[in-house]
Amino acid sequence: MEYFDRIADRYDSWYRTKTGSYVDRTEKRLIFSMMRTKRGKALDLGCGTGNYTVELYKRGFDVVGVDLSEKMLEVARKKLPDVNFVRASAYDLPFGDESFDLVLSVTMFEFLEEPEKAIREIHRVLKPGGEVIIGTMNGRSSWFFFKRLKSLFVETAYRYARFYTPGELEELLINQGFQDVESRGIIFFPSFWPFLGIAERMDQKFSESLKSIGAFIAVRGIKK
């Protein structure tokens, strides 16, 4: 967590750049288009500075944010002082069984050494019929080929990340008993691609058929 503690104060600044804004709205469009849960109690697992916590709060969810980085949580609390933000491990969530209608986790699983353990905890805290959505970076994409190459020379989060494919994410959920599992992917051009209008049209059209090469992939499942 040392790296994320160090960058917490400037973490959100990337989302205000042209590329960062495109990535943020594109990823959110995918996540919320997949989401079937419309109300209830939600857990934003690996919430960071609260980017998705804010969105869930705006949509009327009774949301709780969890992260292991206290510095990230300090930023999140300033955005949403009325929301409960908890410092905790994804391997040992401080909530009772069947507490949540929805668990959302975006760009956290890349940094877990034991993802199966986290999935078991998600399954435990979800109510029957509850929904999980996990979003991660896809190491097979052209976008992250260049990002990972850069991380060899400059310290970035990608230096510490483990990347997944859509199939691997689906397998994680299926192996822990989730059903109705599906995945999608978006962002098909590298980060220096200048024609964002074309990129966004591609994202919306091919999120299912080209998901294996999307820079951002998401999987959802239901606890029966």
Question: Maximum CA pair distance of the chain?
Answer: 47
CA-wise closest residue to 47 among 2, 3, 80: 80
Q: How many Cβ atoms from other residues are within 10 Å of residue 199's Cβ?
A: 19
Which pLDDT value is given to residue 165? 87
Alpha carbons 126 and 101: distance in angstroms, whole number: 6
Query: What length does the chain have?
Result: 224
141 pLDDT above the threshold of 90: no
Q: Identify which of 53, 34, 50 has the alpha carbon closest to the alpha carbon of residue 42.
A: 53
Return the CATH number at 160. 3.40.50.150
Indicate whether 151 pLDDT > 60: no
In the sheet that 216-223 helps form, which strands lie side by side, from edge to edge? 84-87, 62-67, 41-45, 100-106, 126-137, 216-223, 178-186
- Residues 82-102, mean pLDDT to the nearest whole number: 98
Tally the domains of the chain. 1
Q: Tell me the mean pLDDT in the region 192-204.
A: 68
* CA neighbor of 56 nearest in space, from 78, 75, 95, 84: 84
pTM listed for this prediction: 0.86
Q: What CA–CA distance (Å, rounded) separates 11 from 48?
A: 9
Q: Confidence band (pLDDT; 50, 70, 90) for 63?
A: very high
The predicted model gives 166-192 an average pLDDT of: 88
**What is the domain range of residue 187?**
2-223
Question: Where does the chain have alpha helices with state H?
Answer: 2-7, 18-34, 51-58, 70-79, 115-125, 142-151, 166-175, 196-206
CB-CB contact of 98 with 128 (8 Å): yes
